[in-house]
Each structure stands twice: as C-alpha cells, then as structure tokens.
Structure 1
C-alpha cells in the first residue's frame, strides 16, 4: 500500500529518568499528552533525543508502548534504526507490534557502509515492515552521509515516505527535495535552525528538539511557512533563534533536558552516562533564553494549524 507522507511538527521526544536511571513512564506519558494538546502533528520517541543509544531493546519497546498508550489522535513515529540490519529489522518489527504508526531509521553508523550497502539496508527494512518510514541523515553522528542518489532511489519505495535532513548542507538537502518533489515523499528538517529554509525550498516540516518546550511557537512557525506566510514564519524563526542555538551549545539532548527541568516539565534533567549535566555558565544562559521567551506572547494552537 502507499502511505501518507508527513507534514508539520513532530517533536523528537526526550526520555525522562528517575534518580536511579530507570525510565519515568508517568512523566513520559504526561509529556506526550502535553505535546498532543499543544497541537503537534505527531511524536517521535526513541530517536537521538530520546537517548536511544543507552536504552536496551526492551526499554525501547516499553517507551514506544507507553507513548502509543498516552496519545489519542497523533501518529507515533518510533526510532528503530541501527547500524546492524538484522537488529534494525528486529527493532522495527517489535516497534510495529507495539503500535507505532511509522518508523524513523537512522543510517548505519560507525561501520560506514558504501552507498550500495546503505540502500540495501533501508530496502531490507522497507520490504519487510509495512509502515511509513523516514530515513535519517545525520553525518555528524554517523560518520557517513546518505548519498543523494541513495535518497532519491529510496523515494520510489512505497514504504519509504520521508527523509529527515540533519546534514547542515542546504545544497544537499535542496537537491533531495528537487529530485523527489514528484514522489510521495516528505523532506523534514532535523535541525531546528534550518526548518524555515528547508520548508522555503519545498520541505514539509520538522522533527524538532525545540518543540519539546515550545510546541506552540514551533507549530506557528511551521504552519505559517507551509501555508506560504513567510513574513510571519520569519518572525517566529527569529524569536526562537536564541533557543535553537542554546539547545545545541553542548550535545543534544543535554540542553533540552535541562530546559525541561527549568520549565517544570521534569523533576530531574538526569541523563544516562556518558552524558552529563550542563555547567552553571551554560545553564545561566539557557535560563535567560527561556525567560525571554516566557515574556513573549504564546501563539494559540489554531494559529499553528492554519
């Protein structure tokens, strides 16, 4: 079957932990419901922002099940990728069984496959799992770009409906958009600071870190841009710019978890080792950025849906 593509805002959810580093499922579900009520178009548990690298496979599935149970009317796009094709297939099968509505598949990391191996990896999962799938290019973490030709080739698979663009290279991103614009295929920003330019060149939305704490503003930005109101979209882009930068002062998801604690979404911004808490100087800057945003007017959900 041919699946629908994705348009809008899809927060890359964090995974809250208790002080003993066990998963805080109550807070996780509360956060999923907060995001849905704020007007997002879907949620993405178990991506990089969800600290997937430090969770066991069983914990991956428990998180996905909890988020699926918590939300009512938005799709759950589960991170289920790996650098091991067999492992990615197994995680993807289990995610589907857990109720995921779609999959986010990071490109194989560390072993740095050639384009032919990369394409075979994604096709193996798409051939096996009948869910809409988004391939994820983030070379700063994986050590290898998904070749443009590979992304274009994969767009013809009925189960591969999107590309999460986090290379930071607009030439690469816009060529993927250009060469897939007649396909049933979405290009989504994987970098909050590049959401507006990506949509301006034909992208359809964002898998967003900042939307965890600013879902209404992020929805307003994307809603305006997708509808062609770039004057209003620019206003939100510049208003959110200091936050976009602050959330990547150090490795994601360290700043977003600290921000969620500051905002009262979490009792603790704890992360699993080897990630560590922010230093006081960076925390002070993050607090200032968040305080400035709180002084501004928050858009209504309806505005983000125009």
Structure 2
C-alpha cells in the first residue's frame, strides 16, 4: 500500500488542561473543531506542543480519540514516537486503533543512536504499523540529527511519507528535498519562521505552532506559497513574523499556551516542569496578538 504525502498546514495542537492539570477534553474538542473550521489540512495532537512528554500512554490515546471524534474531514496525525522502539510501536498501534490517520515519530532522544540504529528504529515502526508516517528531526531537543543519508534512505519505505524539518539548517533541509524528489515523500517545516523558504525550495507545508492561534493566516500563507504566489506569501510572512519570533522567546509550548489564554481559547495551564511565561514576555506577546487583531 502506498500512502499519500501530507500537504498544507497541520497545527501541532496544544493540549488544554484544567487548574488541576487534568486534560480538558471538552475544550480540546472545541479547539480541534475551531482549527478544522479555519481550513487546516490536518491536526497533530500529542506532539511536543501538546506536552506529550508529561502524559501517560493512556492519556496520550485519550487525546487522540477526542481529536479524532471531534473532526469530520481532516486527517489526524498522532504523535507516537519514543526513544524506545518497542514503546513507539505500541503507541503507534494504539493510536491507529484510536482512529489516527497518520503518525508523527520523533527521532530517539537521550540514548543517541548511530545512523544505523536510527534507520532501524524508523523502519521497524513502519513495518509494524500500516499508516503514513512522518519522521521528525529536531536535534535541539533530541541531541541527535537524523543524518541526510538516513532520511533519504527512509523515503523509499512506502509507509514513510514525510519529514518534519526542525533543525533550522536550511542547507540540510534543502538537500533532503532535492534527494527525495522522486519519492512519495514530503518535507514539512517544523519551524514557522522557515515555512516560506522551505516551501520555496520544494517543501509541502508545515506542522505549525502558530496555527493554533492564527490558523487562517497560516493557511493563507502556506496556500499562497504552494500556489507560487510568493508576493502574497511574503506579505503574510511579514504580518506573522513578530508572532513567529515571540512564540519562541521561551521553550515551546510555554508562549503558545499563554497566547491561547490571551485569545480566550483555553487556559495557559501546563504540566511541570514547564513554567508560566515571564511577565515581560507576556506583555510582548499581548502586544503582538493585539496588533494582529487590528
């Protein structure tokens, strides 16, 4: 079976919590439906932005189930990665059973595998679970880059249809795009500020933090870029530039959760060890969001 690649805007969804740090499933459902109505191309729950690192496996699957049940016409790509291959397979199988349409798989963190181990990890999951899968390269969090050769090799697997690029290194990202052009394989920006240049080089869209709070503008930016209307895409990039920068003044997802609270979408409550946004950064974020509403 050959799966389609993912194209467009896929918000890396925040997870709403109540004051006791329990998952607020009603608000999560509303959040998913709001994003679908805004025109996004898919949803990505329980990734980094969704605080998956502080959830139990059961909670992880409950979030996937809520999002799947909430939407009608957009695919749900569940974060189901781990630094333990067996655990990643278990989470991926459970996500598939919960109704996920695809998987986002973080590269193994902390245990720092060599390229051969990295490739074996992703191939083993792809062999075990017949869903379209996006491998996720974010060395600032995992401590290990997915080697270009590894990404290119993995693109040949029929279930591995995408690469979330969050290394910040455009030269390396561009080489992955160039060398996988003949494969059924898309490169998605994992850094909002780099979405436009990545699409200009041949990327297929983004897994976006900013789309949680500004989904319509993000959809318009990516849509314009994919249609080669770069004049319009640049205008939108300039409009959103301050937001892109401000959402990363502290560790993601601290600023985006504060942004969601400022906009009245859900509480900024996060689970420890994440801490509230510093007051001076909140003031700046409020100003940026206010400017976007004018």
Report what 1:125 is aligned to: 125
Report what 1:152 is aligned to: 152
| Structure 1 segments unaligned to the other structure (5+ residues) | 296-306
Report what 2:196 is aligned to: 196
Report what 2:271 is aligned to: 272
Report what 2:261 is aligned to: 261
- Distance across 1 between alignment mates of 2:181 and 2:104: 20
- Distance across 2 between alignment mates of 1:200 and 1:279: 35
Deviations 1:62-104 (A, max 9, x none): 0000000000000000000000000000000000000000000
Q: CA RMSD in A?
A: 0.4
Report what 1:32 is aligned to: 32
* SS of structure 2 residue aligned to 1:162: strand
- Distance across 2 between alignment mates of 1:126 and 1:225: 30
Report what 1:176 is aligned to: 176
Report what 2:93 is aligned to: 93
Report what 1:281 is aligned to: 280
Report what 2:215 is aligned to: 215
Report what 1:292 is aligned to: 291
Report what 2:82 is aligned to: 82
- Distance across 1 between alignment mates of 2:285 and 2:258: 8
- Distance across 1 between alignment mates of 2:291 and 2:179: 40
CA shift for structure 1 position 280: 1.1
CA shift for structure 1 position 279: 1.6
Count of aligned residue pairs for this structure pair: 294
Report what 1:72 is aligned to: 72
Deviations 1:267-291 (A, max 9, x none): x200000001012111000000000
| Structure 2 segments unaligned to the other structure (5+ residues) | none
* SS of structure 2 residue aligned to 1:49: coil
Deviations 1:238-267 (A, max 9, x none): 11000000000000000000000000101x
Give TM-score scaled by structure 1 length: 0.96
Give TM-score scaled by structure 2 length: 1.00
